[in-house]
Amino acid sequence: MGGAAADGEARDVVVVAPLANQSGASAAVGTVYERESIGYRAVRIDGVENIAVYGLDASPALSTIVGSLGGFGPKPDLIFSGINLGVNVGRSVLHSGTVGAVLTGAQLGVSGLAVSMRSGADPTPWETASATAVALIPHWPRHLPARSSTSICPRFR
């Protein structure tokens, strides 16, 4: 899918993410030496059928590595990780798979945005969180040095 950035330039979007919840995985890549390949499958997400989405049998960090090293296309301009239901602030960032994916991308020279949310509402306002996060992408500061990592955690009621 193409998207427009603040500079008017078109962007391609590809989703490469774990197939299962990896909360607390930090920047772990798992036992990659014990297998010859990483299982994956194409996934359909309602409402964004025109975006290539791949689910991997991998942690967030390993998904970032595969996506950044050409597993599903060219190296990304930005890694967007999340949305995680949980507060990734303070010492919690050390254990966050969401933040771990962005930090792994920084090691590969790619800037990233990790998005988590704390919600007091029921049901969880995923649509509000995703709309807020996606609205930030076209305004991502291109002047930041490569490897810049940012984590946001808005609270929705």
Residue 140's pLDDT is: 75
Return d(Cα 24, Cα 29) in angstroms, integer. Answer: 12
Residue 4's pLDDT is: 46
In this structure, the chain runs to a length of: 157
Confidence of residue 89 (pLDDT cuts 50, 70, 90): confident
Residue 88's pLDDT is: 82
Top-confidence range, 102-106, 126-130, 133-137, 145-149: 102-106
Question: 11 CB contacts (<8 Å, ≥6 apart)?
Answer: 2, 3, 4, 5, 77
| Share above pLDDT 70 across residues of the chain, in percent, rounded to a whole number | 89
| Overall number of domains in the chain | 1
User: What's this model's pTM, rounded to 2 decimal places?
Assistant: 0.85
Residue 82 Rama label (left phi>0; alpha psi -120 to 50; beta): left
Residue 128: which CATH number?
Answer: 3.40.1210.10
Task: Match 């590595």 to its residue by tokens.
Answer: 65
- Per the structure, the complete domain to which residue 18 belongs is given by 2-156
Residue 66's pLDDT is: 96
Consecutive H or E run containing 156:
strand 155-156
Mean pLDDT (the chain, rounded): 84
* Residue 107 confidence (pLDDT) above 70: yes
Confidence of residue 7 (pLDDT cuts 50, 70, 90): low
Strands 2-4 and 10-12, how do they pair?
antiparallel
